[in-house]
Amino acid sequence: MAEVLDQIAKELFVGNAKAVAELVQKALEEGIAPQDILGNGLIKGMNEVGIKFKANEIYVPEVLIAARAMKAGMEILKPKLVATGVKPMAKMVIGTVKGDLHDIGKNLVSMMMEGAGFEVIDLGIDVPAEKFIQAVKENEPELVGMSALLTTTMIQIRENLKAFNEAGLRNRVKIMIGGAPVTQKFADEVGADGYAPDAASAVDKAKELLAIG
């Protein structure tokens, strides 16, 4: 049993989407529980990606390829997880703020969060405060991620937090921010709950904020 799960983790790490999909199918056929395949196969592989990425041993292209392999495995596994009532670790709404059209950093965070077992609702780019608020009301996430890649759009994060306060939602979610010009100092100034300098750190910070594992 452990052997096929180790194989899933290894193939995911090197970004072999086809092999990951086939191995997930094989694991299911062998009667391995979907949550075990998720935790000890797919998530284990993505965790390794996160560790190496944080240590600068692998870079963005490798992370994207690994995430694609994760997705291939999840396509087969997701219906089984739903059928057995396995809940995601937590739910996160994420988007790049209004006026900003950058999405690589946000996409990386989304992929790493999904790889860690979070359900991610990705609102895309150029997201106004109202859209973030609407998504929180509709999806009831525990976490909201806001990305800004320009100093000119960074100020939008401050406006978004004000809007959350005015809508009476600020205490319902943890808000995490990031992006090239964003710093811990800025996060403290605007009253965000957390800041992460990169996608792998974002997963750690999210777990810390929500007191998960």
**133-179 residue pLDDT tens:** 999 999 999 999 999 999 999 999 999 999 999 999 999 999 999 99
- pTM of structure: 0.83
Residues 58-112 pLDDT 10s: 998 999 899 999 999 999 998 998 888 888 889 999 999 999 999 988 998 998 8
CB 136 within 8 A of CB 87: no
Its sign, for the CA torsion 48, 49, 51, 56, is: positive
Does the structure show a pLDDT above 90 at 115?
Answer: no
Q: Strand, coil or helix: what is 9?
A: helix
What pLDDT does residue 211 have?
93
Residues of the chain above pLDDT 90, percent: 81
- The pLDDT mean for the chain works out to 94
Residues 175-204 pLDDT 10s: 999 999 999 999 999 999 999 998 889 999
List the one residue out of 76, 67, 69 whose CA is nearest residue 28: 76
List the one residue out of 149, 134, 145, 53 whose CA is nearest residue 102: 149
Please, which pLDDT band fits residue 213 given cuts at 50, 70 and 90?
Answer: low
What pLDDT does residue 96 have?
97
CB 147 within 8 A of CB 95: yes
SS3 content of the chain, % helix, strand, coil (to 5): 60, 10, 30
List the one residue out of 124, 115, 31, 122 whose CA is nearest residue 74: 115
Q: Which domains does the chain show, CATH number per domain?
A: 2-83 (1.10.1240.10), 91-209 (3.40.50.280)
